[in-house]
Amino acid sequence: MRGNPEAHTLLAPGTLAGVLALLADEPGKWTPIAGGTELMVAHAAGRLTASNLVSLWGIPDLRFIEMTAQSIAIGAAATFRDVRACAAIVSDFPLLAQSAAWIGSIANQSRATVGGNLVNGSPAADSSPVLLAYDADIELVSVRGTRRIAYRDFHTGYKRNALAPDELLYAVYLPRRFAQHRQYVRKVGTRRAMAISKVALAATALIETDRIQEVRLAAASLAAFPTRLYRAEDSLLGRPIDPESIQAARAALLAEILPIDDIRSTAEYRKCVAANLLHEFLNSLLRPAASR
């Protein structure tokens, strides 16, 4: 334990309004902490720079999963265990349920929150690619009110995002319109559990009359933040799946990703495996859709 607990303040207002008031009082002073699966690791390593923390744990207004006919709203403090336990998510957004199962271990899933995964902004975040592939929106909240943006516009750089200093991520909205889409996600980690992504790819595509009418491709660990692969998507729109379109998509993907060499893998490996995963997804589209 390299951090000194006495060097940090932690408050637990217990309500969303209380947290927002604190954030508004001195914008930038307070760092929210939810399940602690990221910040407490930094604390133990003596790397937690935030002196003043405010707890989001145990705030009912932030921990919810609500369904309407059009969408599922997931509160920012919903845990990945909550996500896995939600039947509607399992049936309508299986990729999200799958990626929730990849978060650390059972003990991590019971504490790690959807909001924390996004706000932390790791390039390797497990839930980000699928939320991008499902075209999720997110809602931000402050004492000034709320605003809703597309999740794809949330990350603005390495560990940077669209949140204002007094704002909190409030909820993630998943549109319930992917029933007819072909869906794919694969994580390539350092091992089968308790792994950080070396590469991950999520994809949703709508095929009509043998052509790709709609496609979303999103990746982790291929850029400074989780990102859509727009050029690869563009190369596929309106095209049939054939060797030419697959090759074009591989080439487009390789042209737009910027993976790095780091302690876990190499840029070259990440590039090739990302292209292989895309290839695997596109090949899978040639087989009939599995009945659900």
Q: Give the binding site for another protein (CB under 8 A).
A: 1-12, 33, 35-37, 40-41, 43-46, 51, 53, 55, 57-58, 81, 101, 104-108, 110-111, 188, 190-196, 198, 210, 240-243, 246, 263-266, 268-269, 272-273, 276-277, 279-280, 282-283, 286
Nearest alpha carbon to residue 129 among 15, 9, 257, 35: 257
CB nearer to another protein: pick between 23 and 59: 59
CB nearer to another protein: pick between 111 and 155: 111
Contact 231, 256 (CB under 8 A): yes
Say if strands 65-67 and 71-75 run parallel, antiparallel, or are unpaired: antiparallel
CB nearer to another protein: pick between 191 and 292: 191
**Where would I find the beta strands (DSSP E) of 143-273?**
145-150, 155-157, 160-161, 168-175, 182-189, 197-208, 211-220, 227-228
Q: How far apart are CA 201 and CA 220, in angstroms?
A: 7
Q: How far is the CB of 243 from another protein (least distance, A)?
A: 5
CB nearer to another protein: pick between 109 and 142: 109
| Biggest CA pair distance of the chain | 64
Q: How far apart are CA 117 and CA 131, in angstroms?
A: 11
